[in-house]
Chain A
Amino acid sequence: MIESHLPAYIALTFVLFSVLIPAFGLWRSELSHPIAVLGGGIAAGFSLFGFIDVINDGSIRYFFGGWEPPVGIEFVYDGLSAFFVLVINVVAFFVLIHSHHISKREFPGKEMPYYSLAMLMMLGFNGMIMTGDLFNLYVFLEIASLAGYALIAIGDRPAPYAAFRYLIIGTAGGTLYLLGVGFMYTVTGTLNIIDMAAMLPMLYESNAVFAALILMIVGIGVKAALFPMHGWLPDSYTYASSSSTALIAPIGTKVAAYILFRIILWLFGIEITDAVAPISYFVGVLACIGILYGSIMAIAQSEMKRMLAYSSISQIGYIIMGLSLANPWGFAGALLHVLNHAIMKACLFMISGQLRLKEGHSDISRFDDGYRKKYPWTMAYFTIAAISMIGLPPLAGFFSKWYLALGTIDNSNWLFLAVILISSLLNAVYFFRVLEKVYMMDPSKGQKEPTDAKRDEASASMLWPTGILAVSLIVIGFANAVIVGVLLDIFPM
């Protein structure tokens, strides 16, 4: 019987632990971390179990209080939501393990509120993904966002300002989304996604539907950092504490991208989306500009966290571009990239956190070849993640680009294909720049002898999560045919 209640269990786990952590944390502050890890682990376990169940037995619709929609609110746990829930919960679990030492160092004494907020944010993200109701989605969006603002505000000196900017633009985005929902409600009289989708073909080419679509895409685009609505992201990710960034960066924008998937492919369907104007193409073009812009800006940065933040803007572009292609290959490529990018970015941000912990900074121009000796494993994991980001086989990153390329070719969309190729090169520029610094002497600084350094590797609680994520990139690379087979089944058309 457990299967039919799974969606609720996942959300309730986070609710429970967000309360448990203050309860125990007030007594013993150092208990916050293990409890949070336990919560994350339980949720990850549920999501894994649920994903397998959904793949085998089909989707689960969970009606809260037994009220069926349109009266009640439901959680829809189908292939897409199960996949996203699995990705974010598993990645979050590893990030939570990893954050132990960083949280102690970067915000001593505040572990309890930090982990409690992290649980609340995860609740919001999971709720956004699973809910089948557009207004409920807004509420979960705000829960996740409010917790997220607070998490970002914990960090460097300018962090509150970065969080405030994010709050203003994020809430404005959320409000626009809500207005879009209002339009949809006025024309359809329901808030349930499945009900609404059934009614929409009668409203083909309706202006209200068109306006609602634009409002929703813009509103959620802010959260997904879709170009040109990405302005909040670089500062937030740079100034927030390393553990907050590692938690939010791989997950936050993905969840927003999920909503775009849900809205464009499930709720509206690609035909209604493109009925009045070729919206999906515009979204794709924006994604392309974002890909190039993010990559170029990443090259210009010397702070590693900021570089990775710009790289996130670029990578979210891949996902949304795959969505805009609206064909099976593009879809599979985008979803595979959700998985890959979540893992790669988590791994890279965790490594930047480790470097900050050990060196006190993560400024690439001050990296030297001593890192290779000091942190051999960290740097090996960094190399794997970086090469995967560049997209070289057999690492996972290559395959998402391969499917995306197939998707663009299927649509004869040569512009998008060219963007994918060019941006891979740009990725190579900014990642090899770091690798050069770490693995080689620096002749431009007149360095003749290798830097002498003793081994000073990060502790196991940081090394293992990064290591597992890095190795999983290789595994996903070889196993991607299986994953993509599943993903292709999820494709709605």
Chain B
Amino acid sequence: MLDFFFGHYAYWFVIILLCIGAYGILFKKNLIKKTIGLAILQISVVLYFVSIASKWDATVTVMDPDIPLDQVANYLNPLPHTLMLTAIVVGVATLGVAFTLLIAIYNRYETLDEEELIDKIQ
């Protein structure tokens, strides 16, 4: 049982991050905090991808003369990591758009509190 917990501790970490992110998105009233929650959510998934590709005693995917090609298990799988480069870029772009929108909202309503904002819209 304990093995199950400790053997997968990286995943538990991801799950906790995911929950924190989801909590921020769902329950925080401040729009900036919501955005932070979103960022945490995205990062948790990025970390998941990073973790599935990492292993002990393996090296990066550059041909090393000491490790012949028939021992591919000693190389990392590079694909998830490269995917995450893209995902991080997407995440940053999303945050950029989110903050742009927040600036537009603040300019129009002078608040970023969700409840006040809804009052002002109606």
Mutual binders A and B: yes
Chain A interface (Cβ < 8 Å from any Cβ of B): 135, 138-139, 142, 146, 149-150, 153, 157-158, 160-161, 163-164, 167-169, 171-172, 175, 178-179, 182, 185-186, 191
- B60 in contact (CB, < 8 A): no
Contact status of A160 and B108, CB under 8 A, knowing A142-B90, A182-B49: yes
Check B69 for interface membership: any CB of A closer than 8 A. no
Given known A142-B90, A167-B94, A168-B35, contact A135–B83 (CB-CB < 8 A): yes
B34 CB to nearest A CB, Å: 6
Question: When the two chains form their complex, are residues A161 and B121 in contact, meaning their CB atoms are under 8 A apart?
Answer: yes
Alpha-carbon separation in the docked complex, A217 to B18 (Å): 18
B52, A185: Cβ atoms closer than 8 Å? yes
By DSSP majority rule, is chain B's interface helix, strand, loop, or mixed? helix
* B23 CB to nearest chain A CB (Å): 12
Chain B residues with CB under 8 Å of chain A are 18, 22, 25, 31, 34-35, 38, 41-42, 45, 48-49, 52, 79-80, 83, 86-87, 90, 93-94, 97-98, 101-102, 104-105, 108-109, 117, 121
Residue among A149, A150, A172 with the most chain B CB within 10 A?
Answer: A172
Q: Check A158 against B121 for contact (C-beta < 8 Å).
A: yes
Question: Are B48's CB and A171's CB within 8 A?
Answer: no
CA distance A163 to B105 in the complex (A): 10
**Contact across chains for B38 and A160 when beta carbons are under 8 A apart:** no
Answer whether A175 and B41 are a contact pair too, CB < 8 Å, given A160-B104, A160-B108. Answer: yes
Query: How far, in whole Å, are A172 and B102 apart by their CA atoms in the complex?
Result: 17
Known pairs A158-B121, A172-B25; A164 contacts B98 (CB<8 A): yes
> What would 6 more interface pairs be, CB under 8 Å, given A168-B98, A179-B45, A182-B80?
A142-B90, A153-B104, A164-B101, A164-B102, A168-B34, A191-B79
Partner of B38, one of A138, A142, A171, A179: A171
Partner of A146, one of B18, B41, B86, B97: B97
Residues of chain B within 8 A of A186, CB atoms compared: 52
Known: A168-B25, A175-B41, A175-B45. A153 touches B101 (CB 8 A): yes
How long is the Cα–Cα vector from A172 to B18 in the complex, in angstroms?
10
**If the complex has contacts A178-B45, A185-B80, are A146 and B117 also in contact, measured as CB distance less than 8 A?**
no
Given contacts A142-B94, A171-B42, contact A157 B25 (CB under 8 A): no
B93 touches A164 (CB 8 A): no
Say yes or no: B52 contacts A182, CB within 8 Å: yes
B94→A146 contact, CB < 8 A: yes
Q: Are B117 and A161 in contact (CB under 8 A)?
A: yes
Is A171 in contact with B94, judged by CB distance below 8 angstroms? yes
B45 touches A149 (CB 8 A): no
B101 CB contact (under 8 Å) in A160, A175, A185, A191: A160
Q: Name the A residues within 8 Å of B25 (CB-CB).
A: 168-169, 172
Output the least CB separation between B78 and chain A (Å). 12
A139 to B94, alpha carbons, bound, how many Å? 12
User: In the assembled complex, which residues on chain A have CB atoms less than 8 Å from the CB atom of B45?
Assistant: 175, 178-179, 182
Whether B97 contacts A150 by the Cβ 8 Å rule is: yes
CB-defined contacts of A161 to chain B, threshold 8 Å? 101, 105, 109, 117, 121
